[in-house]
Amino acid sequence: MAEVLTQRDAGPSTPARVAPKSRPGKLSRYQTRWAWFFVSPWLIGFLLFTLIPIVATLGFSFTNYSPVTPEATRFIGVQNYVRMTTDPKVATSLLVTVRYAVLAIPITLGFGLLLAAMVNAKSLKGQSFFRTMFYMPSMIPVVAAGLIWAGVMNTQTGWLNLGLEAIGLPAPDWLNSTFWIYPALVLIGLWGTGNLMLTLLAGMQGVPNELYEAASIDGAGAWVKFRHVTLPMISPVLFYNLTLMIIGAFKYFDMAYVLKNGTGGPADATLFYNLNLYKNAFEYNLMGYASALAWVLFLIVFALAVVLFGTSGRWVYYAGDGKK
Partner 1 sequence: MTTTASTQPKLAAAPRPAATMRQHNLMERILVSGLAVVILLIFLMPLGYMFTTGLKSDAQMSDPDAPVWWPFSQEMFTYNGETYPVYKVPTDAGVQRLAAVKKTRVATTFIDPANPAAGEIVWEGNWRTLEPAYFPDAQWHNFVTAWEQLNFPLLFRNTLIIAITGTLGAVISSVFVAYGFARFNFTGKNALFMILIGTIILPVQATLIPTYIVFARIGWTNTFLPLIVPHFFANAYNVFLLRQYFMQIPRELDEAAMIDGANPLQILLRIIVPNSVPALAAVSLFHFFFAWNDFFSPLIYLVSRPELWPLSVGLQKFNALYGREPNMIQAGALITLILPVAVFFLAQRVFMQGIVFSGVEK
Q: What's the residue count for the chain?
A: 324
What one-letter code names the amino acid at 177? S
Query: What is the total count of residues that contact partner 1 (CB under 8 A)?
Result: 115
Position among 14, 25, 42, 98 found at the interface with partner 1 (CB under 8 A): 42
Binding mask 290-319 for partner 1 (x = CB under 8 A): xx-xxx-xx--x---x--------------
Position among 82, 91, 121, 303 found at the interface with partner 1 (CB under 8 A): 121
Q: How far is CA 296 from CA 53, 250, 291, 292, 309, in A?
A: 15, 11, 9, 6, 20
Single out the segment in contact with partner 1 by CB under 8 A; choices: 33-41, 80-88, 95-103, 171-179.
33-41
Give the residue with the Cβ less far from partner 1, 13 or 123.
Answer: 123
- Among positions 72-101, residues that touch partner 1 (CB under 8 A) are none
Of the candidates 247, 242, 253, 245, which has an alpha carbon nearest to the alpha carbon of residue 299?
Answer: 247
CB 234 within 8 A of CB 207: yes
How near is the Cβ of 322 to partner 1 at its closest, in Å?
A: 18
Binding mask 126-165 for partner 1 (x = CB under 8 A): -xx-xxxxxxxx-xxxxxxxxxxx-xx-x-xxxxx-xx--
Q: How far apart are CA 181 and CA 202, in angstroms?
A: 33
Give the residue with the Cβ less far from partner 1, 267 or 305.
Answer: 305
Give the residue with the Cβ less far from partner 1, 46 or 179.
Answer: 46
Measured in whole angstroms, the distance separating CA 213 from the mean position of its chain's CA atoms is 35
- Among positions 206-245, residues that touch partner 1 (CB under 8 A) are 206, 209, 212-213, 216, 236-237, 240, 243-244
Single out the segment in contact with partner 1 by CB under 8 A; choices: 42-50, 77-85, 90-98, 264-272.
42-50
How near is the Cβ of 278 to partner 1 at its closest, in Å?
A: 8
CB 40 within 8 A of CB 21: no
Q: How far apart are CA 263 and CA 255, in angstroms?
A: 12
Q: How far is CA 229 from CA 204, 211, 234, 244, in A?
A: 10, 7, 9, 24
- Among positions 252-291, residues that touch partner 1 (CB under 8 A) are 253-254, 257-258, 261, 274, 277, 281-282, 287, 290-291
Binding status of residue 124 toward partner 1 by CB under 8 A? yes
Helix (H) / strand (E) element for 98: namely helix 88-120
Position among 112, 172, 203, 264 found at the interface with partner 1 (CB under 8 A): 203
Q: Tell me the DSSP string of 178-214.
A: TTTHHHHHHHHHHTTTHHHHHHHHHHHHTS-HHHHHH
Position among 81, 180, 191, 226 found at the interface with partner 1 (CB under 8 A): 191
